[in-house]
Copies of this chain bind each other. A is one copy, B any other.
Amino acid sequence: MKIHLINPNTTATMTQTAAAAATQVAAAGTQIIANQPADGPVSIEGYYDEAFAVPEMLQEIRKHNDCDGHIVACFDDTGVDAARCVANGPVIGICEAGCIAAGTIANRFSIVTTLSRSVPALHHLIQRYGAERRCASIRASDIPVLELEKQEQQAMQTIENECLAAINNDGAEAIVLGCAGMTHLASMLSDKFSLPVVDGVSAAVKQIEGLVSMNLTSSRVNGYRKPVVKKYNGKFAKYAVNDQGE
C-alpha cells in the first residue's frame, strides 16, 4: 500500500518530521510517500495562509493519484473536502484523525495547538466533526509553527503548561497535539503526564490504512462527487480536471 502524505506548507523539514512519525507507525507493506508543494506559504497560520496552501496541495494529490490514500498533514485539515473530490483513494486530515483516536480511548480530550489565531478554525472543525462534547478545550501555546523546530526547551515548557491546565482544569483524559510540527513530542508528554497523547499524523496513517484495507474511498454520491469538467480560466486552467474528473 502506498500512502501519500502531503504537507500543505512548503517547508521540507516539517514534511520530514511528519514523514518520520508516519513511517514509525505504518504497517509492514505500507510505503509513505511524503512531499510538499513548491509554491505556497512556508507555514499555515490562520485562515489566509490556508487559502493559498490548497491549490498546489490539490495538484500534488492529483499527481499522486496512483497512491492508495492521502494524508493532509496540517492540523487545520486544509482542503480535505476538495481533496476527497479529486483523490481516487480516501483522504483524511490530522485533526480529524487525532480526534477520532482520542475519542476512542478517552471520554474527553483537549487539543494543545500553536497559535491563538488558529483556535477559531479548530473550533469550527471540532463542531463539524461532532466532537464538541468530547473536546474539553482547545489551548494555544502561542509558539509559531516554525519555532517548534528551534527553541525546543522554552517551547516545551509552554506546551507542558497547557497540557497540565487541560488535565487539571478542563477534565481532559487525553491530549491531542494540534500541529504536525509537534509529532515528536507525543511519547515524551505521554510519559510525563501518564495519559494518552495523540499525534494526528500517526493517527491519520492508521485511518487511511484501515479504509484502504476495507476498499473504502470517498462516496461519489452528492458532496464528494468527482469534479465536473468545466472551463477554468487564465492561470488556473491547469487546475481543471479532465473528463474522468482527474
Asked whether, in the complex, the Cβ of A210 is within 8 Å of the Cβ of B211, the reply is no
- In the complex, the answer to whether B173 meets A48 with C-beta atoms within 8 Å is no
**Cα(A207)–Cα(B103), bound, Å:** 11
> A24 to B246, alpha carbons, bound, how many Å?
31
- Which residue of chain B lies nearest to A237 when distances are taken between CB atoms in the complex? B39
The quantity of this chain's copies bound in the complex is: 6
Contact string against B for A residues 68-81, beta-carbon threshold 8 Å, 1 for contact and 0 otherwise: 00000000000101
Given contacts A52-B236, A90-B104, A210-B210, are A42 and B230 in contact (CB under 8 A)? yes
Whether the pair B218, A39 counts as a contact (CB closer than 8 A) is no
Cα A43 to Cα B241 with chains together (Å): 14
- List 24 A-B pairs, Cβ < 8 Å: A25-B213, A41-B230, A46-B225, A47-B81, A47-B224, A48-B227, A48-B241, A49-B230, A52-B239, A55-B236, A104-B207, A105-B211, A106-B221, A107-B219, A107-B223, A119-B223, A130-B132, A130-B133, A173-B221, A173-B223, A174-B219, A194-B220, A203-B210, A209-B209
